[in-house]
Each structure stands twice: as structure tokens, then as C-alpha cells.
Amino acid sequence: MWWFLVVVAAMFEVGWATGLKYADNGLTWTLTVVAIVVSFGTLIIASTRLPAATVYAVFVGLGTLGTVAVDIIFFGAAVNVGVILFVLLLLVGVLGLKSVTSNKKQQKEADML
């Protein structure tokens, strides 16, 4: 559940990062601010239950991946081998970091069973 919140926070990060670049009226700026509040609020909640450093790395990595994807798909940003290679490298790093980081609380609960 807590990692799901990190993914939700990252999706809102994609929204506000995109909004910072493309917002041009009151409604889009309001949505951008709402996305910032929801993104960081959700991130803070998840960070209280999971390792903060790993949570932040996953949040930033997924946010970066999503922002690049939105820029390419919806706004016609240039795609080249370097962009794809480094985004994939970032994704591998985020997944690797998550896979080697354990949550001590979950570890204790597992040990109790």
C-alpha cells in the first residue's frame, strides 16, 4: 500500500512538472498547485512508513520517467537514442534500489510469523 502511494505521488509530480512548463491561465496554474500539494503530501505520508531515501529516489525516478514520456507523447519532444538510453538506465537504477532496500517494520513483522 505504501509503495502505491509513492507511485501516486510520482504521477502527481508528472502533472505539476508538466504544469510548470505549460500552464498559461488561472485554471492550469491552480491545477498545478493542487498537484504539488497532493504530490508532496502523499510523499510525506509514504516516507513515514518506508525508508525515506529510497522513497525519494523512487519518487524522483518515476516522476522523471513520466515527465519525459508526457513530453514525448503529448507535446512532441524530440526522441533520440540518448534520451531513451538514460531514461531506461534511470528506471533500472530505481527498480534496483527498491529491490535491495528492505523495510525494517515489514522485516520485523515477517520475523514474528
pLDDT given at position 110: 47
Distance CA 67, CA 16 (A): 9
Q: Which structural domain, as residue segments, surrounds residue 101?
A: 2-105
Cβ neighbours of residue 35 under 8 Å, at least 6 residues apart? 12, 13, 15, 16, 19
Tell me how far apart the alpha carbons of residues 49 and 42 are, in angstroms, rounded to a whole number.
Answer: 12
Chunked mean pLDDT (size 10), the chain, 113 residues: 93 95 95 97 94 89 92 91 91 85 57 51
In this structure, is residue 33 part of a structural domain? yes
Note whether residue 112 is domain-resident: no
Domain membership of residue 110 (yes or no) is no
**86 within a domain of the structure (yes/no):** yes
Residue 7 falls inside a structural domain:
yes
- Asked if residue 59 is part of any domain, the answer here is yes
pLDDT at 101: 79
Return the pLDDT at 46.
94
CA distance 59 to 75: 23
**What is the number of structural domains in the chain?**
1
**pLDDT at site 103:** 59
Is the pTM here over 0.85, yes or no? Answer: no
Q: What is the pLDDT of residue 99?
A: 83
